[in-house]
A and B are shown apart, each in its own frame.
Chain A
């Protein structure tokens, strides 16, 4: 299955993507991840205000047959979550890098950005 890997994003090994603007990071899961999970039926998002450590399990996605944890790619405070996913988790399947975003973090350590993969690094990891 081919899936896109936008150049302007950074990626965690655990299949989250990050878009960094000033001190805010948008987080979602990659197109590859959504395809592996198959159609999502439920997304559990972190609470706004929660402070996350990089690598901490902070959200859950469920399809009919699987449930997976989503990990915070960077440390920071959750400042907004995409509540529309509660009603329509299918957005993650149809637009993983856009409308299917999960949450925004106020990043506490921007240097962590450097530890994430770039598009080609992630492409190599998923073998596409």
Chain B
């Protein structure tokens, strides 16, 4: 019988190399089949004995149909729930040219700044926008969500003025509830005392290190925060204000009132709610605190031509350098969403933004009128967009029920009180519906609206006087034509997966297939508020439960939490779960976390946040965990051992043979094994952490499961846990999750960055077990193929048994005396490539991860470039060319460098700019020359405010 299935398989297109290319590559390595290669690479004892339970592959056309069916079970109501999530209008030009554009979403974090000027520029304007709107001096390039931003602010304040004698944080009880709960979770392991009190009772004293206020408050009240800021100052504490960007267009910003830190969410600047995320949170502070700020910061520096260029600055704060002394564990943030918000502000400009702010405020004033007419009482008459209404006779539950029957979600504040938060999507019809609900005659709305001048429902003293968004960028792109071109111009400066492979080790830059991306823009996925009743989110619940089940099967664990919105968050959550489990066994004294030296910086940073003490474990010459050292440390700390954090395959790109023995050793001494699953792309369908002895692992869905990196986020970092840890998975305070033993929430939304888990859902469903397993095999094959081709030129540093690497390989460049690994990274740009991971986990090396999605043609193109560069290096090493004026030291070469009137270099223009013949037809040009890192870090300029002085300085130096 003929198969009734469509002959086309998704996996054949997700996987880059064709059948014949796979055979060719296998032959080069001396293997008959992928299975034979896997047998030689992955230790026998840990390989899967029985296939896991995943559905069969489906044609992508059918997959998307199934997803649509599920999504349609979500009910898209109008949600006026507020709490930091608001309806908004994504300008379609931003939706199509940025959010849905692979030129933007497939970029990686801008570590290679010369080929990342577009997104760096956009993030620089994000920082400028945040500084302007909040009135602060410096802002970072996004955090994960408002609640974690508040928790990060807590840590900064504690690290600055706190200590054992000053360990109390005061929180006004009108902050968003999810913010308060995340802070509580984060405070507990650090022995920080949290006191939540009505604003009038906040009395900072010598034991207080921070005060957190929300302005406007969660229930809409707008009250001057200045007295509380001053009280904090007088007590020697720092003040944190959570705020709302749209409100800032009308209200006096906290920065003008002396606030030390201002945080919040940029979601309502054009980013869909997505049932909780992803959105960009912001974090701004006084300049004096900048070296303690969490997260990435974009600054300017100069390039080799003496021209301004953007780069990430002040990186010594971060986990990849400071490790356990880092200011935070944050790594992946929300770059794509920050860029959307920045573009929303650039597109609208200050005038249109203020008009939007006034419009929303006007709507809220009209709503207040409706409440009056309905006989209800406004609890505060000072508000921006959110009202707290004490209902006249009806109780809140019955009101909410009536609202729901009209397709409207309203917030219940208490038995008799409701909250309604309006936003830019609210129409006349919406207001009429709300009037009707409130018992006012909707027919009179228009009359009233016309009769009324624009009113203001907050004190005149709080009216914003200062200008904002004054830089020319916020005035130049208000027409759609200009915006379209601006977005395209920025995109074209950045190397993304639309240009070439991005072989960053540990980053898994695989295909983000178009079909996987479709659902994020469906209203049923994009337009849900995270706190709607579960009955309205049944589609989401089904998607979550499918995905949780699949991920549990793939990892060999019992259950999964999708809440962590990045890998580092997963680590933190997993360690808290371990801690709580140990506590439940009366083992709360166990606090030592063993971490190999080769671990990713987030590991030690997360362990510290979880209140553990980090003890390092050495690695041996082969790059494996030094078993003797591990045994010694385990014995030494046997009574305090809480956990071991390991990465598998190791960050050195090798399947360690002894992983089971290592896990057993930890268990024998009463500890738990945390597995960093960043390298899961080498394991799916081949082996499972749960089988070889781990107790919990996180996955980076933005690596292994196809969520694009977005130029530095979003991400999803779910944790999978064994049965004994299941009761302790993170809970949530606004949307209660079953179970009493859960650790507190670690992210603002119960299911984190919910909307983008649809991407992984489509991937797994379309690949099926066979496709996923083959993807793993080919990822390993491709890495070994590269290792084989490059080894004669660059030594492959670590290998496992039979000389095989896992899904990535490290090449050693330390033997070159006149050329640095940096030079090679920059020269690759001239060839149109993004460098592999540079100097991590071993300084002076490169780590290459090709993924399964690159064809053999692309792998060869990359290897050819590396080999040709090796020839260039040899000339320099032999002393045949000037050690300071050569192809590598001067790389990357920009178009204007090559077209310059004078050419005095000892190599030709062609060698510089067109090292490969094919580049005559197609060439990606780096837009700036080599960037001066030292200059940028010595003079950090992180928003438009400092640009004039910076440009003057540059001009002087140019003379």
Residues of A within 8 A of B (CB): 39, 41-42, 44, 62-67, 89-90
List 17 contacting pairs A-B, 8 Å CB cutoff, sorted by A: A41-B934, A41-B937, A42-B291, A42-B316, A42-B938, A44-B291, A62-B316, A62-B937, A64-B316, A64-B934, A64-B937, A65-B316, A65-B321, A66-B321, A67-B321, A67-B322, A67-B325
Q: Which residues of B contact A89 (CB under 8 A)?
A: 938
Q: B297-337 CB contact bits vs A (8 Å, 1 = yes)?
A: 00000000000000000011000011001000000000000
Q: Which residues of A contact B937 (CB under 8 A)?
A: 41-42, 62, 64
Q: Which 4 A-B pairs have the closest CB atoms?
A: A41-B937, A67-B316, A64-B933, A62-B316
Q: How many whole Å from A58's CB to the nearest CB in chain B? A: 15
CB <8 Å contact, A64 and B291: no
Q: How many whole Å from B448's CB to the nearest CB in chain A? A: 59
Q: How many whole Å from B749's CB to the nearest CB in chain A? A: 34
Distance between Cα atoms of A39 and B839 in the complex (Å): 18
Q: Which residues of A contact B934 (CB under 8 A)?
A: 39, 41, 63-64
CB <8 Å contact, B938 and A41: yes
Q: Which residues of A contact B839 (CB under 8 A)?
A: 65
Distance between Cα atoms of A44 and B325 in the complex (Å): 15
Q: How many whole Å from B11's CB to the nearest CB in chain A? A: 40
Q: How many whole Å from B892's CB to the nearest CB in chain A? A: 18
Q: How many whole Å from B156's CB to the nearest CB in chain A? A: 16
Distance between Cα atoms of A67 and B839 in the complex (Å): 16
Distance between Cα atoms of A110 and B325 in the complex (Å): 32
Q: Which residues of B contact A64 (CB under 8 A)?
A: 315-316, 933-934, 937
Distance between Cα atoms of A42 and B934 in the complex (Å): 10
Residues of B within 8 A of A (CB): 291, 315-316, 321-322, 325, 839, 933-934, 937-938
Q: Which residues of B contact A39 (CB under 8 A)?
A: 934
Of the candidates A41, A44, A65, A90, the one having the most CB atoms from chain B within 10 angstroms of its own CB is A41
Q: Which residues of A contact B933 (CB under 8 A)?
A: 64
Of the candidates B322, B325, B938, the one having the most CB atoms from chain A within 10 angstroms of its own CB is B938
Q: Which residues of A contact B938 (CB under 8 A)?
A: 41-42, 89-90
Given A63-B316, A90-B938, 6 further pairs, Cβ under 8 A: A39-B934, A41-B938, A62-B316, A62-B937, A64-B933, A67-B325
Q: Which of chain B's residues has its CB closest to A67's CB? A: B316
Distance between Cα atoms of A63 and B935 in the complex (Å): 11
Q: How many whole Å from A88's CB to the nearest CB in chain B? A: 8
Distance between Cα atoms of A90 and B937 in the complex (Å): 12
Distance between Cα atoms of A64 and B315 in the complex (Å): 7
Q: Which residues of B contact A44 (CB under 8 A)?
A: 291
Q: Which residues of A contact B315 (CB under 8 A)?
A: 64-65
Q: Which of chain B's residues has its CB closest to A39's CB? A: B934
Of the candidates B291, B316, B839, B933, the one having the most CB atoms from chain A within 10 angstroms of its own CB is B316
Q: Which residues of A contact B325 (CB under 8 A)?
A: 67
Q: Which of chain A's residues has its CB closest to B935's CB? A: A41
Q: Which residues of A contact B316 (CB under 8 A)?
A: 42, 62-67
Q: Which residues of B contact A42 (CB under 8 A)?
A: 291, 316, 937-938
Of the candidates B291, B325, B933, B934, the one having the most CB atoms from chain A within 10 angstroms of its own CB is B934
Distance between Cα atoms of A42 and B933 in the complex (Å): 13
Q: Which of chain B's residues has its CB closest to A61's CB? A: B316
Q: Which of chain B's residues has its CB closest to A90's CB? A: B938
Of the candidates A39, A44, A67, A89, the one having the most CB atoms from chain B within 10 angstroms of its own CB is A67
Q: Which residues of B contact A66 (CB under 8 A)?
A: 316, 321
Q: Which residues of A contact B322 (CB under 8 A)?
A: 67
Q: Which residues of B contact A67 (CB under 8 A)?
A: 316, 321-322, 325
Q: Which residues of B contact A90 (CB under 8 A)?
A: 938
Distance between Cα atoms of A39 and B934 in the complex (Å): 7
Q: Which of chain A's residues has its CB closest to B326's CB? A: A67
Distance between Cα atoms of A63 and B936 in the complex (Å): 11
Q: How many whole Å from B745's CB to the nearest CB in chain A? A: 32
Distance between Cα atoms of A62 and B937 in the complex (Å): 9
Q: How many whole Å from B300's CB to the nearest CB in chain A? A: 14
Distance between Cα atoms of A56 and B938 in the complex (Å): 26
Q: How many whole Å from B604's CB to the nearest CB in chain A? A: 14
Q: Which residues of B contact A62 (CB under 8 A)?
A: 316, 937
Q: Which of chain B's residues has its CB closest to A44's CB? A: B291
Q: Which of chain A's residues has its CB closest to B937's CB? A: A41
Q: How many whole Å from A39's CB to the nearest CB in chain B? A: 5
Q: How many whole Å from A42's CB to the nearest CB in chain B? A: 7
Distance between Cα atoms of A44 and B321 in the complex (Å): 17
Q: How many whole Å from B868's CB to the nearest CB in chain A? A: 28
Distance between Cα atoms of A98 and B878 in the complex (Å): 38
Distance between Cα atoms of A41 and B937 in the complex (Å): 6
Distance between Cα atoms of A39 and B316 in the complex (Å): 13
Q: How many whole Å from A115's CB to the nearest CB in chain B? A: 27
Distance between Cα atoms of A44 and B292 in the complex (Å): 12
Distance between Cα atoms of A98 and B934 in the complex (Å): 22
Distance between Cα atoms of A89 and B839 in the complex (Å): 25
Q: How many whole Å from A86's CB to the nearest CB in chain B? A: 11
Distance between Cα atoms of A39 and B936 in the complex (Å): 12
Distance between Cα atoms of A90 and B939 in the complex (Å): 12
Q: Which of chain A's residues has its CB closest to B934's CB? A: A39
Distance between Cα atoms of A67 and B322 in the complex (Å): 7
Distance between Cα atoms of A62 and B938 in the complex (Å): 10
Q: How many whole Å from B263's CB to the nearest CB in chain A? A: 25
Q: How many whole Å from A67's CB to the nearest CB in chain B? A: 4
Q: How many whole Å from A22's CB to the nearest CB in chain B? A: 35
Distance between Cα atoms of A127 and B671 in the complex (Å): 41
Of the candidates B315, B839, B937, the one having the most CB atoms from chain A within 10 angstroms of its own CB is B937
Q: Which residues of A contact B321 (CB under 8 A)?
A: 65-67
Q: Which of chain A's residues has its CB closest to B317's CB? A: A67
Q: Which residues of A contact B291 (CB under 8 A)?
A: 42, 44
Q: How many whole Å from A14's CB to the nearest CB in chain B? A: 16
Distance between Cα atoms of A124 and B321 in the complex (Å): 29
Distance between Cα atoms of A42 and B935 in the complex (Å): 11
Q: How many whole Å from A84's CB to the nearest CB in chain B? A: 14
Distance between Cα atoms of A94 and B661 in the complex (Å): 51
Q: How many whole Å from B702's CB to the nearest CB in chain A? A: 25
Q: How many whole Å from A26's CB to the nearest CB in chain B? A: 24
Q: Which of chain A's residues has its CB closest to B311's CB? A: A64
Q: Which of chain A's residues has its CB closest to B322's CB? A: A67
Q: How many whole Å from A100's CB to the nearest CB in chain B? A: 15
Distance between Cα atoms of A63 and B938 in the complex (Å): 9
Distance between Cα atoms of A32 and B391 in the complex (Å): 74
Distance between Cα atoms of A41 and B321 in the complex (Å): 15
Q: How many whole Å from A4's CB to the nearest CB in chain B? A: 23
Q: How many whole Å from B160's CB to the nearest CB in chain A? A: 13
Q: Which of chain B's residues has its CB closest to A38's CB? A: B934
Distance between Cα atoms of A65 and B311 in the complex (Å): 14
Q: How many whole Å from B291's CB to the nearest CB in chain A? A: 7
Q: Which residues of B contact A65 (CB under 8 A)?
A: 315-316, 321, 839
Q: How many whole Å from A48's CB to the nearest CB in chain B? A: 18
Distance between Cα atoms of A62 and B325 in the complex (Å): 13
Q: Which of chain B's residues has its CB closest to A65's CB? A: B321
Distance between Cα atoms of A10 and B747 in the complex (Å): 52
Q: Which of chain A's residues has its CB closest to B318's CB? A: A67
Distance between Cα atoms of A90 and B325 in the complex (Å): 24
Distance between Cα atoms of A89 and B934 in the complex (Å): 11
Distance between Cα atoms of A41 and B839 in the complex (Å): 20
Q: How many whole Å from B554's CB to the nearest CB in chain A? A: 36
Distance between Cα atoms of A113 and B933 in the complex (Å): 39
Distance between Cα atoms of A85 and B841 in the complex (Å): 32
Distance between Cα atoms of A100 and B136 in the complex (Å): 33
Distance between Cα atoms of A64 and B312 in the complex (Å): 10
Q: How many whole Å from B590's CB to the nearest CB in chain A? A: 27
